[in-house]
Structure 1
Amino acid sequence: MGRFEDKVVVVTGAGSIADGWGNGRATSVVYADEGAKLVLVDRNPDALAHTAELVEKHGAKCITVTADVSDADGVAHFVDAAIEAFGRIDVLQANVGIGSIGSLLNYEQSKWDLMFRVNVTSLFLAAKAVVPHMKRTGGGAIVNVSSIASMRSVGQPFAAYSSSKAAANQLIRAIAVEFAPDNVRCNSVVVGYVDTPTVAVAYRNLDTEARESLQHDRAALVPLRRQGTAWDIARASAYLASDDAQFVTGTEIVVDGGMTNAAPHS
């Protein structure tokens, strides 16, 4: 019996921006390995279908829902589908997020608004929609995937991204306290430098030598001397969602190889 046997897990951002193992895809497979029934949500139907294929190979039942989770109608769509298919929601794994680099002085308000809509409003809408179902069945867990940029500078002009992720962290803390009496636990996985398809896409215009140099430099900033993988994030998420963490709520687990504790390299 896995930790999520007879549990229904909703994973938003379950696809991947490109080939490979993004956080959402890897986390979906980890939940599948531990017996969960899965509701996979993403805007990209092709990426979603690939994740579903992988999940089913691991023996899990799943449904897929193509939806924009920063929109109330999109959230209602996947919640209704989950209840129709499985009758309950036990875990919300909130993976959706975007980021961009830009100086405060040059940052357009439209980009700022989009950052907060995707990184914060989507979490607000999803939590608002799933918590009543969790209360009805005796509790549940929400796991928010955040970033160390929410806690400290990472050497880039990240005002909008950092602010949105910090807001999401605090939203999770507030929800955790409000619904603790209902046994709804809420926590964040705070991610450091992770080698995922999102990073590959961000630097796709660099030549091979420049990409390799960048990857080396990123790893050198981590005390463990490597970047994380999507599996590192997936395992931390599954812990927080499981009964192994039944006394853990309203907090963050930092998964960054020690980076936030290290002084910047000169």
Structure 2
Amino acid sequence: MANVADRAQMDAAARKGVDTFGEINVACCNAGVCRLAPFEEMDDATRDFHIDVNIKGVWNTCKAVIPYMLKQGGGNIVIASSVTGDIVADAGEAAYAMTKAALVGLTKCLAVEYAGRNIRVNCSQLGYARTPMVKKMAVESNPEDLESAINDIAVGVPMKRLAKPIEVGELFAFLGIDESSYLTGSQIVIDGGSTLPETMSIGTN
């Protein structure tokens, strides 16, 4: 266990990983937070909390593992961005959207910078999955009826459900193995098609 917002703790975690397993082949940067609030009511502490975890956490993780990957001759980094910020957004998500969009830029820069040294960097762009973070967001949106809030999310997804966490993990696993060896700097949307419809009321369905 380590706090991604603490650079020293992430350095220690990477060192322990190498001491235990001999090398670091894949780093999954997937720690994230989201707290909803109207922009005019969102205080600086909440903004900074998102920056510390969502941006600095990924930065610290990459800083910790890349030296080992360079030494061993390569590796893979998978960054958990989101469809939020880079593609879509909801009211009350200003801090979350800002930080997740920033991760797309970081992914692309690191991918270019390390492509010639056999380190691949890709990012996932998740829609909604049944995770503790989404459940917390649902409570903030509809504290009287958590399941109703989650079901309302699913209505806007063409597949009519949220992702299972294991499905997101399988994407991370794919991006970390040789079967994805020609992918770097990619943004892989995994959202059940939720960003595809132009509207939910026009069309033949």
TM-score when normalising by structure 1? 0.71
Amino acid corresponding to residue 253 of structure 1 in structure 2: I
Aligned to 1:98: 33
Q: Deviating runs (4+, > 3 A) in structure 1?
A: 201-207
- Say whether 1:111 aligns with 2:39: no
Q: 1:155 to 1:122 in 2, by over 3 A?
A: closer
Q: Deviations over 1:46-102 (max 9, x none)?
A: xxxxxxxxxxxxxxxxxxxx2111111111110111121122111101110101112
Rounded to whole Å, the distance in 1 between the matches of 2:40 and 2:72 is 48
Structure 2, unpaired ranges of 5+: none
Amino acid corresponding to residue 190 of structure 1 in structure 2: Q
Rounded to whole Å, the distance in 2 between the matches of 1:187 and 1:95 is 12
Rounded to whole Å, the distance in 2 between the matches of 1:181 and 1:152 is 29
Rounded to whole Å, the distance in 2 between the matches of 1:106 and 1:72 is 30
Q: Deviations over 1:13-46 (max 9, x none)?
A: xxxxxxxxxxxxxxxxxxxxxxxxxxxxxxxxxx
SS at match of 1:190: strand
RMSD: 1.6
Q: Deviations over 1:204-255 (max 9, x none)?
A: 5834xx2332222111100111111101101111111111110000111100
Rounded to whole Å, the distance in 2 between the matches of 1:193 and 1:167 is 19
Structure 1, unpaired ranges of 5+: 1-65
Rounded to whole Å, the distance in 1 between the matches of 2:147 and 2:42 is 29
- Say whether 1:158 aligns with 2:93: yes
Aligned to 1:181: 116
Instruction: Give 1:191-210 correspondences, 5 Å limit.
Output: 191-204=126-139, 206-207=143-144, 210=145
Q: Deviations over 1:110-168 (max 9, x none)?
A: 21112111001111111112111111112110001121112233432211110100111
* Equivalent pair of 1:221/1:264 in contact (CA under 8 Å): no
Aligned to 2:68: 133
Rounded to whole Å, the distance in 1 between the matches of 2:24 and 2:168 is 21
Rounded to whole Å, the distance in 1 between the matches of 2:91 and 2:167 is 24
Q: 1:80 to 1:117 in 2, by over 3 A?
A: same
Instruction: Give 1:1-266 correspondences, 5 Å limit.
Output: 66-204=1-139, 206-207=143-144, 210-265=145-200
Rounded to whole Å, the distance in 1 between the matches of 2:138 and 2:194 is 21
Aligned to 1:33: none
Aligned-residue sequence identity (percent) comes to: 32
Task: Count the aligned residue pairs.
Answer: 199
TM-score when normalising by structure 2? 0.90
Rounded to whole Å, the distance in 2 between the matches of 1:201 and 1:101 is 10
